[in-house]
Amino acid sequence: MNHHPPSQVGRALTVVLGALPFTVITLLVFGHWPPLARWDQSVAARAAAYGAVRPNLVDFWQVIGAVVLPWTSRAVILVVAVYLWHRRARLLTIWLLVSAGAELGLVEAVQYIFTRAHPAQALVDADGWSYVSGHATAAFVMAGALGVVLPSVRGWRRRFRLLVLLPVIGVVWIASADRIALNVNYVSDVLGGWALGLAILTATSIGFGLRPGLRRRRRRTPSDGDGTAAPPRAAVIVNPIKVGDGVAFRRKVTRALEIRGYDEPLWLETREDDAGNAMAKQAIEYESDLVLVAGGDGTVRVVCSTLAHTGIPVGVIPAGTGNLLARNLHIPLDLDDALERILEGRDRRIDLVRVHGDQLDTDHFAVMAGLGLDAAIISDAPPHLKKQIGWTAYLVSAAKNINHPSVRVTLSLDDAEPIDRRVRTVVVGNVGMLQANIPLLPDARPDDGLLDVVVIAPRRVTQWPIVLWRLLTRTNRTDMYLERFTGRKVEIHAAVDVQRQLDGDPIGPGQFLSCEIEPGALTARVPKRR
């Protein structure tokens, strides 16, 4: 016996269900089902009688009909397709054009096959056939297409999507009402047009791997057939601002999970007001076997903080400017390589660092926290440059902040006596490598149960080359320019407010940071040892 993969069966079933309303309406119309036939005739008679004595109203609806022509809806789709092509959302662009082409061809085919005449008392001349309504079908496909597209385009806020979608939905109703008011189409012609539009969108969406909306979550129980366990489940948390072609990304990740036996993943997008906390909680409630997070270091930090001590493996897909945790866990920056190394990888328990300070709620970080120059560089890096040239934008900010003033700080490590220093920056790390493989903390390991601290304190600009040389050569000698410490807990008190950062995210100025290691708090999915 041949068994089709569950995903293929699900796609086929979805297509069948999408085409079912059109099939049912068509059978009822041409089977002359009495209730539907009486409804059609009753509405047509009332529209004809109402319009016969109100020529101004007929003229109004004619103007509306001229505006909401099927070609108008297709033109909107074409404009959006051009925009998406410019945004490099190639898959969505092709899907839109295919959907519009399918709408045009299928409307003509259905009208040619069924040759249903327009109502006898039509108030205006109408070409072609009545079933299905081309206006209703084209408007429905346009509205549905935009409903799929807008959530997938980065940079479109939710309320802006509604400002676009609500008028578009209104256009569907107006285009349909126009056909009925002018008595050009029966009510069933309009319903058939909507149903045909639904069938087109369902078939093309499934064909292109687009799955808008929510799906029903299955309980994780053994199957009734052979007693084997249900497929593992994954949640994917995405920062849409960091991921370029969201649909292509989604399709690639879904495919990578599917061929490794995972159930269809739960997709969650971060928001401007939530970098991933609520999404990680949803992933926990979903009882995920794996959580993939795609975004910048800030998104990764928030998700990892929420998933601390849950035992759920976290796989980091590099999608940001720094990608520091991914780099330190030896995850490739290329998407295809990263997916393969993560999904074929192993689970590794790594440490997290609990942190709090003035004007800062208790939080966690996985990479580094800093106070002073490094935080100022991160805060001043131009966002447009970060988007265009990546982490090298920090070099521009570093040059601008080269004369960042030093500050007096007091460091307390574990139970040792506090020490006072005048520094340019203090960095507390759970891992050691920066971009370009610069070993800021060469002895740091993500699972050693220790914090590594570096104090950088050149007095003059001319002393920076010495510091950089020592960093690049991993020199362990301690002097007045660069000192390193280790411990399980470190507290930093600054004499004045200075900039601070957590995993590459600026958190605002302050005078105090307290960091304490939490050994083995996070289960990370990392590449296998080679």
Task: Collect all residues with Cβ–Cβ distance below 8 Å to 271 and sequence separation of at least 6.
Answer: 158
Q: How far apart are CA 24 and CA 473, in angstroms?
A: 74
Q: Using the 8-state DSSP alphabet, how is residue 452 labeled?
A: E
Whose tokens are 């002073």? That residue is: 372
Q: 3-state secondary structure string, 236-262?
A: EEECCCCCCCHHHHHHHHHHHHHCCCC
Query: What is the strand order of the sheet 425-429 is part of?
Result: 482-487, 451-456, 425-429, 368-372, 500-502, 505-506
Q: How far apart are CA 257 and CA 253, in angstroms?
A: 6
The helix (run of H) or strand (run of E) holding residue 422 is strand 419-423
Instruction: Give pLDDT, residue 468.
Output: 76
Instruction: Give pLDDT, residue 169.
Output: 86
Structure tokens at 289: 């076997």
Whose tokens are 């285009």? That residue is: 175
Task: Collect all residues with Cβ–Cβ distance below 8 Å to 73 and sequence separation of at least 6.
Answer: 138, 139, 141, 142, 171, 175
Residue 439 has, within 13 A of its CA and on its CB side, a CA count of: 13
Q: How far apart are CA 207 and CA 102, in angstroms?
A: 13
* pTM of the entire predicted model: 0.56
Around Cβ 360, how many Cβ atoms within 10 Å? 16
Q: How far apart are CA 212 and CA 250, in angstroms?
A: 11
Task: Collect all residues with Cβ–Cβ distance below 8 Å to 375 and sequence separation of at least 6.
Answer: 425, 498, 499, 500, 501, 506
Q: How far apart are CA 116 and CA 110, in angstroms?
A: 10
Structure tokens at 10: 């699900």
* Bridge partners (DSSP) listed for residue 482: 456
The one-digit pLDDT tens for each residue of the chain (530 residues) are 444 444 456 667 777 888 899 999 999 999 999 999 999 999 999 999 988 888 898 899 989 988 988 999 999 999 988 887 876 567 778 889 999 999 999 999 999 999 999 998 888 888 889 999 999 999 999 998 888 776 555 445 455 566 777 888 889 999 999 999 999 999 999 999 999 999 999 998 888 766 443 333 343 443 434 444 578 999 999 998 888 767 888 889 999 999 888 988 999 999 888 888 999 999 998 889 999 999 888 899 999 999 999 999 999 998 877 788 998 999 988 888 999 999 999 999 999 999 999 988 888 999 999 898 888 887 776 666 656 555 566 666 666 667 778 899 999 999 889 999 999 889 999 998 876 677 788 888 999 999 999 998 887 776 777 777 777 766 666 667 888 899 999 999 999 999 998 887 888 899 999 999 999 999 999 998 76
Is residue 430 a contact partner of residue 322, using CB atoms and an 8 Å limit?
no
Q: How far apart are CA 109 and CA 125, in angstroms?
A: 21
The distance in angstroms from the start CA to the end CA of the chain is 40
> How many residues does the structure list for the chain?
530
Q: State the alpha helices, DSSP H only, in 150-241.
A: 158-181, 187-207
Q: How far apart are CA 28 and CA 37, in angstroms?
A: 9
Instruction: Give pLDDT, residue 3.
Output: 43
